[in-house]
């Protein structure tokens, strides 16, 4: 595919009040649609992006009146080609809630929420194409392997309010999962700090006293032979939290290629499970402050079929 430049010259963009508080990397990504996230970070790191004439970190929060230097970058000739059309159509049909300030999308398993690490685009890029001219940003994240409720802000006012709720832990998140082993108690709460570590050239997360605080509640819903269908309610939002806390209990999740065993993975593949059995089925949050939203996503057909096969 041939490529064209997003602007033949350097542009200088003044930050308007409605974009105040946005991270620099997210602002540049929106200014250069279709450009891989890795390229965004590289041009910022090399100083090609500047704020008020000086270098800046990717996580710098912009304020109204800032002048941002936006360099030209190579992108697809048409922004709509950066995300396959069938994916856009599928995600558009998967909107569970469409509010003027936010949307909740029923994310399929296998789709990354943002580009990077060999992934050219993510759900957030698709949402920016579905809602052009809006300041679309992720209010939180789901693992690529996880399906279910993903909350996406359509402007910075909503983004600030929703992210503040996630940070404070006031947003309730509920997940369905299937465990490799049988859960012996009706309810277990795991309070184990989690730390990101490198093992054999691969980044992993493990329970460690040196890690960040993390808490997950597991509730038994139903036994399926020697396996258990469980609801997980994380009080914090660490990377791979449910997966690692479940494995910590000896209850690795079905289909988990990262924290389960190769033998278990092969077993689930024979059962027809092609991805991790972890589904974000419920979100409860306030927006605006005096209105409570309860959004639910049913268990996908492929995961339901695995339960039926047991």
Residue 61, pLDDT > 70, answer yes
The reply to whether 172-309 shares the fold of 83-168 is yes
pTM of the model: 0.78
User: What pLDDT is attached to residue 117?
Assistant: 66
Q: Which CATH superfamily is domain 4-75 in?
A: RNA-binding S4 domain (3.10.290.10)
Q: Which CATH superfamily is domain 172-309 in?
A: Pseudouridine synthase (3.30.2350.10)
User: What pLDDT is attached to residue 67?
Assistant: 94
Residue 248's Cβ-count burial label (10 Å; 0-12, 13-18, 19+) is middle
User: What pLDDT is attached to residue 1?
Assistant: 31
d(CA 141, CA 149): 10
pLDDT in tens, 140-183: 999 999 999 999 999 888 999 999 999 999 999 999 999 999 99
The mean pLDDT value for 254-263 works out to 94
- What's the pLDDT band for 109 if we cut at 50, 70, 90? very high
Pair type for strands 172-179 and 187-191 = unpaired
- What's the pLDDT band for 240 if we cut at 50, 70, 90? very high
User: What pLDDT is attached to residue 32?
Assistant: 83
List the single range of 4-18, 131-145, 180-194, 205-219 with lowest mean pLDDT: 4-18
Query: Which residue did the predictor score with more confidence, 29 or 240?
Result: 240
Report DSSP state, residue 96.
E
Averaged pLDDT of the chain: 90
**Active-site pick, 25, 125, 143, 256:** 143
Strands, E assignment, the chain: 4-5, 11-14, 50-51, 67-70, 74-75, 95-98, 102-107, 137-138, 147-153, 172-179, 187-191, 194-199, 202-207, 215-224, 227-234, 278-286, 292-296
User: Is 66 part of the annotated catalytic residue set?
Assistant: no
User: What pLDDT is attached to residue 149?
Assistant: 98
**Cα–Cα separations (whole angstroms), residue 240 to 40, 144, 197, 276, 279:** 25, 11, 12, 12, 13
| Domain ranges (residues) in the chain | 4-75, 83-168, 172-309
User: What pLDDT is attached to residue 193?
Assistant: 97
d(CA 267, CA 251): 15
CATH classification (class only), 83-168: alpha beta
Structure tokens at 104: 């909740």
pLDDT in tens, 175-206: 999 999 999 999 999 999 999 998 888 889 99
pLDDT in tens, 13-37: 999 887 888 899 888 988 887 677 7
Highest mean pLDDT among 42-51, 111-120, 247-256: 247-256
Work out the number of other CB atoms within 10 angstroms of the CB of residue 57: 12
């Amino acid at each position: 595919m041939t490529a064209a430049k997003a602007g033949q010259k350097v542009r200088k963009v003044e930050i308007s009040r409605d974009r105040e508080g946005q991270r620099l990397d997210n602002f540049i990504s929106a200014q250069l649609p279709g450009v891989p996230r890795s390229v965004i970070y590289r041009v910022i790191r090399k100083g090609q992006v500047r704020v008020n004439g000086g270098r800046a970190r990717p996580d710098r929060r912009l304020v109204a009146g800032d002048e941002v230097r936006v360099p030209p970058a190579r992108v697809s000739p048409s922004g709509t080609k950066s995300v396959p059309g069938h994916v856009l159509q599928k995600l558009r049909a998967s909107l569970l809630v469409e509010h003027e300030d936010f949307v909740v999308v029923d994310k399929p398993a296998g789709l990354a929420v943002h580009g990077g690490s060999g992934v050219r685009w993510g759900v957030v890029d698709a949402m920016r194409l579905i809602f052009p001219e809006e300041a679309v940003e992720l209010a939180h994240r789901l693992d690529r392997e996880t399906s279910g409720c993903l909350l996406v802000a359509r402007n910075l006012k909503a983004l600030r309010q929703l992210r503040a709720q996630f940070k404070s832990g006031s947003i309730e998140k509920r997940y369905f999962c299937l465990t490799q082993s049988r859960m012996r108690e009706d309810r277990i709460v795991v309070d184990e700090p989690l730390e990101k570590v490198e093992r054999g050239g691969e980044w992993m997360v493990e329970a460690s006293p040196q890690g960040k605080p993390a808490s997950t509640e597991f509730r038994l819903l139903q036994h399926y032979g020697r396996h258990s269908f469980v609801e997980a309610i994380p009080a914090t939002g660490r990377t791979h939290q449910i997966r690692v806390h479940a494995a910590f209990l000896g209850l690795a999740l079905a289909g988990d290629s990262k924290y389960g065993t190769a033998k278990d993975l092969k077993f689930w593949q024979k059962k027809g499970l092609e991805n991790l059995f972890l589904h974000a089925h419920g979100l409860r949050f306030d927006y605006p402050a005096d209105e409570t939203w309860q959004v639910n996503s049913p268990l996908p057909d492929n995961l339901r079929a695995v339960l039926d096969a047991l």
